[in-house]
Structures are given as C-alpha cells and as structure tokens.
Structure 1
Amino acid sequence: MTKGKLKKMLPGGNTSQGFYSYYDNIIRPDANRIFIIKGGPGVGKSTLMRSIGETMLDMGYDVEFHCCSSDNGSLDGVCIPEIGVAMLDGTAPHVVDPKNPGAVDEIVHLGDFWDETLLRQNKPAILETNRRVGRCFQMAYFALKEAKVIRDEWESYITEAVDFTRVNEVTLQISEEIFSAVKPDFTRPPKARHLFASAITPDGSVNYHDTILQDTRKLYTIKGEPGSGKAALLAKLAAQAASLGLDTEQYHCSLVPQNIDVLVLPRLSVAIANLSAPVYFDPNCLPNLEVSKEINLSAFLDTEALNNFADEITGCRTRFEAAFNRAVKRLNQAKTEHDLMESYYAPAMNFHDINAKKEQLLARVIRYAEENASDPFPE
C-alpha cells in the first residue's frame, strides 16, 4: 500500500494582534465528523491526534497536520480531507466549541481519565504556573506589537522610494503568465482557504513550505523590503484568481495576519510566495518544483530617495530584530512554563485508558473511511 502524503500548516499564530486564529479553515462545518479534543496540558491530546493521523497515512490517506505555533512539537489538529474527518484541540487559546453537536461535532474529554485528587494536591502550583504562562504570552504580544509599529515606520521610508509603475508592470506580467490561458468557471463560487504557512514560535521563525508546495509545479518567488509592494501584489493575484472562479489556498503572514505570504492555485499547480526574511525556504528541496520567476521588488527602489532615510532604515532594522527576538524569548519562556504545568498533569493521567479511547476513535475514523469518501470543502 502506498503511503499517503503529509501536509503541514498552522491554523493559528502568534502575531502582532495577539493569537490569531484561522481554525474555521481546518475543515468545513458540514464535514462528516469533527472530534473536539478537550483536556489540560500534558493529557495526551497531541499524541492521540498524531497517532491516528500517522495510522491513516500508513493506510494510504493524505493527512494534514495542523501544527502548534506555541509548541513546535505539538499539533493543534489533524485533518483527513478525503473522508471529511478532523480532530481539533479545543483548549485555550484556540477554544473550539461544537457548532453542530452530534450531527457533525463531538467533544472528546480526556479529563475523564485524570485523577482529580492528584491534581488538586498541585492546585497552587498549577494556578501559579498558568499565571506565568499567560504573562509570558502577554509580554510576547507586546513585543510583536512593537515590532509591527517599527515595521510600519520602516515601510514608510521604503514606500516613499518605490517606483509603483514598475511594480504594477511586473504584477501585470505575472498575472498574464499565470491566468492568460485560464477559462473562467462561474458554475460555483470559488473557495478560499486561509491558514498560516509560517509562524513565530519558541524556536524562532518556522515554516512548512516544503509540504505546502509539494504538489506545486511552478513557483513565483517574491522578495523585497517591507513596504515594497509584496502584500499588494499577492492580494491582487488572489483577487484575480477569485474573479476567474479559481479556488485558492491563502497562507498568511505570521506578523500581520491579514497579509498573504503564500498563494497556492491548486487547479493550475502554481504558487506565488513571499520569501523575504524571516522566512527561509529553498525551492530546490522539492525536485518537481520549477521556479518560473524570481522577483525582487527592492530593484524598483529609488536609491537617492532611500539614501535620504539611510540612518532611519538601519535603526528600524536593528529595533525590529530586537523586538522580534524579545518576542521569541518570551514565547520560549511560556513554553518552559507550559512544560512545567504538563509535569503536574501527566502523573495524574490514566494513559492506559486514554490509549483505549484512542483505539476506539481510530476504529471510528477507519469506519468513516470505509463508508464515506467526501471533500471536506464540498461543492
């Protein structure tokens, strides 16, 4: 049996606006079954979801791992698109409650398998650790908000030096190359799926471009200084794709979640990606991926205008890096505190019974696989 394909992305992120969620895009509300996994830290939610996902991969099903932006080794969800089944971590900060209880959504509460007496013995330590986790996240978000303000200042200097006529010309050129042969499809509304391809994590900036682009054949890479027009270019291409009836996968910026960083057009096997720092991705890691064009929008900057703000731009770079690194440091501290909190919960868990529950869930997922084969984003 051929093993299925694994795709990784992030449904939520640590951003300049705090924790930002695209959880509603993991799977459609009218899926076959959505298991919402509840329970405290260290009770086995991520391990349960990963185990079931890996089993389905081995059975030949394509599986999506929705990774956690606050814990590089954990999952926030698992989706099996072909059968319309997903498992979601329903605890804070990504609180998920049933929208269609029973018909689609079902809560699986791993708190049924903990020893309350043991947990109550550690109540003061748990409360204090939880407070410190929250405080670390608060400080991380302060730093990311500061980084965004610095970036806005930085962008103001760059924007003043941009030759937008040339930016518009290259946007039109890319658009013609991608869409000129596309026959519009107005038989149904186009679908747009919104997630993150990269994240600001306790380990710094990470991305999953290597799995997101594994089925892409042509890639357009965009680079440039903040304010050089990257976000606007990607937004225009996304709008044009929608106007032609094309479905899109839109992966958003980890700092400014409204901006698109990666636009994937599955029907065309084409993607456009902003590969400016702090995102690093080498397209050569995917042998079937052809880089059709590399565009550096910084080439359209007026050097004389830039020189007028050289000191200010250098200062912005330095201050932005300091704020960004401070945010990562606080996220790392939050992860350390969270690990400590897990150490209070893990000894109170009956993992034998949790494993039995996992096997029951797996049996049900396999049954859905045998009985149903549907798109989680149906027509």
Structure 2
Amino acid sequence: MTGKVLNYFVCGHTARGFFNISESALPNLQHLFVINSQWGAEGSNLIEGIGRELVETGHNVEFIHSPFDSKRLDGVIVPSLGIGVVKEIIAEGARSLNCRRAIINIQPENHKDENITALIQEKCNQAYDSFSTALEIHDEWEEFYIHNMDFAKADTLTDELIHSFLGEEVLNKQSVVKHRFLGAATPHGSVDFVPVLTEEIQNRYFIKGRPGSGKSTLLKKLAKQAEHKGFDVEVYHCGFDPNSLDMVILRELGIAIFDSTAPHEYFPVRENDRIIDMYGSVITDGTDEKFAVQLADVAGRYKTKIQEATAFLKEARMIQERAEKESLSLHRDVLEKIKQEVIQEINRIS
C-alpha cells in the first residue's frame, strides 16, 4: 500500500526577517540524518528520492519545502518512525531536539563561496526591509477595521465556534502541538499547500474578512483551548508575519479552519465546507464604503512593497542559480548510492 504525503514550510522570508520554526514543527524525532548541502539541487533530489521510496513502501511522509524554491525540499519526515532526513538549515533550527544525528556530506569542495553567500544575504535583507515596511502599512490598514469592530460580537462568535468544535470533551493525554507555516514568500510569489494539508479533513471552515477583523485572534484562542483539552493541534503561522496565525487543523476531529483571504484565498467546493464571515459579523456595516479612498491607497502601497520584496528575493535566487551552474555536481549514480545507504540505515533502526 502506498503511503501519503503532506507538504509544508517551516522556514520563511518574513516581515521579521528569516524565520525558522523547525524545532516546534518536528517533535518526537529520535533520529535525524543531516545533509550537508548548501545550494545545488543534489540535496533536494536526495531528500525527495528517499521520501518517494519510503512512500512506495507504505510510509506516510511529510515533505518540508524550501522558501528559496518551493519546488525543492529541505527535508522529509517519517512521523511513524521518528526519523527525519533534512538539510542543515532545518537541523540548525531544530538544534535543541534530543535525538541521534548522522551527517551526510554531499557538498563538493568548491560548492561554498562566502562572497556569493554574502551577496545572496544582502538581497534577502533588502527583501526583509521591504516586507517590514509592508507590515507597517498592513498595521495601518488594520486600524480602519479595528476601530469599527464590535469586540463583544467577536468574542461571542469565537466562543461559540470553539464550543461547537470542542464541546465539553477533555482527552486524557498530552496534546502534541506542531507549528508550521501556512505558506511562504518565495522568489515567484506566495506559495501554500492548503489543498494538500486539508485534503482528508472532513469539515473545512473558510474565514473571510479584512485585515484587523479578528481572524488570527480567533485561531489563537482555538489552538490554546484545543491544546488545553488534550487534542493534537497543527498550528500554521502566517508566512508574512509569523506572529499571526493563518490556520489550525484538528485532525482528530476532522476540522480545519483557516484565513481564506489573499494571498491564500480559497472558496468552498465540498458539501461540508463552510464560510465564517468576520467582516459581516463583527465589522460596522458600510466600513468599506466609508473609507474606500483611504483603503485603496493603503492597499496599493502594501502591494507595491510586497512586489518590491519579491523582486529582491528573485535577484537572490538568480545569484544562487548562477553559483550552482558554476559548481561541481554529484553524478546521479553517486546520489543513488547515498540514497540506498540512507534507506538501508532507516530500515535498520526502524
């Protein structure tokens, strides 16, 4: 029987700089294989090859994608075995995990160039500055709705929703909480895996609203209460502002609830899909119309800064691609040999 695959990010280019939440995303690992591969596709290809072979033998796996190139992988996790195969960037973010580690060195000697690394970092820093300015503009955007919100209604809506999800049940176990990113800002724009992550979820709730209409606050309260009651919780942070939440999944209850607004806007397509309209429920009628001119201005300035940041990330990726073309690459047979050695070791310890 073929296994299943989940896809997500644990690192991101954000308004608060490069953010790595690998440690809180990967609890309960006993073994970590760390691939020493800074740039080229070899590390990603090796990880994907290992993951696909494990899927074919019936294991469920989780693919961790790179925010530098969402088609590339930074890691594969096999939860049932407590095993992960990850690049150094993931291992560094999860350095406090108490697990056995084995280093797999596939980086050619001429692969690492400190000057190239500095150039890439400079472009990324420029992107972070633009994202930071965009966040300030977004805060300005939120103010229009915060000042026109009925907080009592928002609290009532949140409490009723949480009670409808969790009821009075309390599980006699410790909650497992995993923190991930809903999506990531990449050199090609925003990317997310909402359809994959919610594919097997029976009840999906699409939160619609405006900036500052209480979407993240609702999700934070739900996640906290679910953890308190012993339910396992998948907490998905915003790829733009990691202090904000975009989705909570309670797989034991078959529930996913997420901020379904741009840049991760989706609409109901299944019978059990539901919309939660925060704007219509808690924001004063006519707010959009009353501040139409100001809102158009702030939205335009925000969009410009996001585009500016994305352009810087694209420049960083182009520098990286040029460096990769000039570096030595491992022969396919060598990678296949390494892959089989890792698979054999996984089979031995599992």
Same fold by TM-score, threshold 0.5 exceeded?
Answer: yes
How many angstroms apart in 2 are the aligned matches of 1:203 and 1:56?
30
Q: Does 1:105 align with 2:98?
A: no
Q: Which of residues 319, 343, 366 in structure 1 aligns to 2:347? A: 366
Quote the residue 2:255 is aligned against. Answer: 270
Counterparts of 1:252-267 in structure 2, within 5 Å, are: 252-267=237-252
One-letter amino acid of the counterpart of residue 6, structure 2: K
Instruction: Provide, for residues 51-99 of structure 1, a one-character-per-residue CA deviation record: whole Å limited to 9, x for no partner.
Output: 00000111111110011111121111100111111011104x8735765
One-letter amino acid of the counterpart of residue 250, structure 2: L
Instruction: Give the C-alpha shift of residue 222 in structure 1.
Output: 0.6
Aligned partner of residue 346 in structure 1, secondary structure: coil
One-letter amino acid of the counterpart of residue 306, structure 2: F
Q: Which moved more, 1:147-156 or 1:301-310?
A: 301-310
**Given that residues 37 and 88 in structure 1 are in contact (C-alpha distance below 8 angstroms), is that contact kept between their aligned partners in structure 2?**
yes
Flag the 1:12–1:146 CA change in 2: closer, same or farther, 3 A: same
How many angstroms apart in 2 are the aligned matches of 1:90 and 1:17?
21
Q: Does 1:311 align with 2:293?
A: yes
How many angstroms apart in 2 are the aligned matches of 1:150 and 1:85?
42
Quote the residue 1:342 is aligned against. Answer: 324
**Given that residues 98 and 105 in structure 1 are in contact (C-alpha distance below 8 angstroms), is that contact kept between their aligned partners in structure 2?**
no
Flag the 1:317–1:100 CA change in 2: closer, same or farther, 3 A: closer
One-letter amino acid of the counterpart of residue 12, structure 1: C
Count of residue pairs brought into register by the alignment: 349
Flag the 1:99–1:235 CA change in 2: closer, same or farther, 3 A: closer
Q: Which of residues 223, 227, 236 in structure 2 aligns to 1:242? A: 227
Q: Which of residues 283, 296, 310 in structure 2 aligns to 1:328? A: 310
Instruction: Provide, for residues 273-313 of structure 1, a one-character-per-residue CA deviation record: whole Å limited to 9, x for no partner.
Output: 111111133453xx6x721x311211132245555543322
Q: Does 1:297 align with 2:278?
A: yes
TM-score of the aligned structures, taking structure 2 as reference length: 0.92
Aligned partner of residue 328 in structure 2, secondary structure: helix
How many angstroms apart in 2 are the aligned matches of 1:272 and 1:164?
20
Instruction: Give the C-alpha shift of residue 128 in structure 1.
Output: 4.1
One-letter amino acid of the counterpart of residue 210, structure 2: E
**Unaligned ranges ≥5, structure 1:** 373-379
Alpha-carbon RMSD? 2.3
Quote the residue 1:49 is aligned against. Answer: 47
Quote the residue 2:170 is aligned against. Answer: 184
Quote the residue 2:20 is aligned against. Answer: 21
**Given that residues 20 and 93 in structure 2 are in contact (C-alpha distance below 8 angstroms), is that contact kept between their aligned partners in structure 1?**
no
Flag the 1:127–1:175 CA change in 2: closer, same or farther, 3 A: closer
Aligned partner of residue 79 in structure 1, secondary structure: strand
Flag the 1:147–1:98 CA change in 2: closer, same or farther, 3 A: closer
Q: Which consecutive segments of 4 or more residues in structure 1 shift more than 6 A?
A: none
Q: Which of residues 171, 187, 208 in structure 2 aligns to 1:223? A: 208
Quote the residue 2:83 is aligned against. Answer: 85
How many angstroms apart in 1 are the aligned matches of 2:93 and 2:181?
18
Instruction: Provide, for residues 16-68 of structure 1, a one-character-per-residue CA deviation record: whole Å limited to 9, x for no partner.
Output: 1111111113433x523110111331161111010000001111111100111
Instruction: Provide, for residues 154-181 of structure 1, a one-character-per-residue CA deviation record: whole Å limited to 9, x for no partner.
Output: 111110011222222221221222122x
One-letter amino acid of the counterpart of residue 209, structure 1: V
Aligned partner of residue 95 in structure 1, secondary structure: helix
Instruction: Give the C-alpha shift of residue 145 in structure 1.
Output: 0.4
Flag the 1:98–1:167 CA change in 2: closer, same or farther, 3 A: closer
> Between the two proteins, what is the percent identity of the paired residues?
25
**Given that residues 206 and 267 in structure 2 are in contact (C-alpha distance below 8 angstroms), is that contact kept between their aligned partners in structure 1?**
no
One-letter amino acid of the counterpart of residue 298, structure 1: Y
How many angstroms apart in 2 are the aligned matches of 1:342 and 1:355?
20
One-letter amino acid of the counterpart of residue 51, structure 2: G
Aligned partner of residue 18 in structure 2, secondary structure: strand
**Unaligned ranges ≥5, structure 2:** none
**Given that residues 129 and 340 in structure 1 are in contact (C-alpha distance below 8 angstroms), is that contact kept between their aligned partners in structure 2?**
no
Flag the 1:137–1:178 CA change in 2: closer, same or farther, 3 A: same
How many angstroms apart in 1 are the aligned matches of 2:285 and 2:251?
38
**Given that residues 99 and 105 in structure 1 are in contact (C-alpha distance below 8 angstroms), is that contact kept between their aligned partners in structure 2?**
no
Quote the residue 2:195 is aligned against. Answer: 210
Counterparts of 1:165-176 in structure 2, within 5 Å, are: 165-176=152-163
One-letter amino acid of the counterpart of residue 218, structure 2: L
How many angstroms apart in 2 are the aligned matches of 1:12 and 1:94?
12
Flag the 1:26–1:301 CA change in 2: closer, same or farther, 3 A: closer
**Given that residues 30 and 83 in structure 2 are in contact (C-alpha distance below 8 angstroms), is that contact kept between their aligned partners in structure 1?**
yes
How many angstroms apart in 2 are the aligned matches of 1:6 and 1:258?
27
